[in-house]
Amino acid sequence: MRVLVTGGAGFIGSNFVHHLVGQQDVVVTVLDKLTYAASRASLDGLPTDRVSLVVGDVADQPLVDRLAAGHDAIVHFAAESHNDNSLTEPGPFIQTNLVGTFCVLEAARRHGTRLHHISTDEVYGDLELDDPQRFTEATPYNPSSPYSAAKAGSDHLVRAWVRSFGVKATISNCSNNYGPWQHVEKFIPRQITNVLDGRRPKVYGTGTNVRDWIHAEDHSSAVWTILQQGRIGETYLVGADGEHNNLEVVALILEHLGRPADDYDLVADRAGHDLRYAIDSTKLRDELGWRPAHPDFGAGLARTIEWYRDHESWWRPHKAATEAAYEVKGQ
């Protein structure tokens, strides 16, 4: 089986490529623009006879079409995904997340290629902190930021191409991922690398915002399960019952690295900061039999901390510029 993975040198995409090559008999082509959030080094150690990298833009229609022609399936991870960046410069989010998805859909349509589209729980907006409800596949869309709005739009494009043109596609909306190869601008790796550098972690607002965490390896196994068994045109929510507020996450990081649990700073809140995300993955579990292999968030976070401790050469080149950008915004 030949699989084209867009955005496969980014965080979640590279984890999926490692998972795929380690677990399945496949040949993978990665299409990645290699923006600041992606890295060739995230694909290091993979067999060159089974994994190749094409540097290019997912919004380049002729390129995507040419690549789709030689593959059995497309897994579409490519996206601009950092909320803070979407608030200061939304243009790239529209170009990559909407135009890029359009190009992927047109290529899948032309060649009859099986497509799986990766989305986010952020398209549903947020939940109150004391709300017992969780997002389901029936939750109305209510995006809060240019990032989540662009992802919501891309989901709607996929559904329209399935219904109007018969594209063989599925969608998954996943909760917040953590694990290796995540850029240091994101919450968990930023806090880990700050502590490793002797800095105090920075937490938005009061730190009570809740995210539903899932290890990237579990996300990868869910995507493969949906690609193989999912019903065309269906959406599946992916989560591992990992709700924790930001202060709890920071406290676990500090504890693991031998620092006091209150050794952090609160900084100005993000504009439009969603309160809580929570995923109900019952459909995925009951219909397709998927289960997370890393349900213990504390254990998974400990392994992630050790990965960043052991791979300083991977994240160090990006750290200074990332912190400088946050300091300009007082964060």
Which one from 124, 147, 277, 308 is the annotated catalytic residue? 147
Q: Is 122 a catalytic residue?
A: yes
Q: Which of 80, 121, 155, 243 is catalytic?
A: 121
The answer to whether 264 touches 202, Cβ cutoff 8 Å, is yes
Distance CA 139, CA 149 (A): 15
Separation of alpha carbons 90 and 147, rounded Å? 7
CA atoms of 177 and 217, how far apart (whole Å): 9
Strands (E), the chain: 2-6, 27-32, 51-55, 73-76, 114-120, 169-174, 176-178, 202-204, 210-215, 235-238, 243-245, 265-267
- Total length of the chain: 331
d(C-alpha 327, C-alpha 324), whole Å = 5
Q: Residue 49 catalytic? A: no
Query: Is residue 121 annotated as a catalytic residue, yes or no?
Result: yes
**What whole-number distance in Å separates Cα of residue 215 and Cα of residue 175?**
10
Query: Among residues 84, 122, 155, 274, which one is catalytic?
Result: 122
Q: For residue 82, give both structure tokens.
A: 């950092």
- What are 321's two structure tokens? 């510029």
Catalytic positions are: 121-122, 147
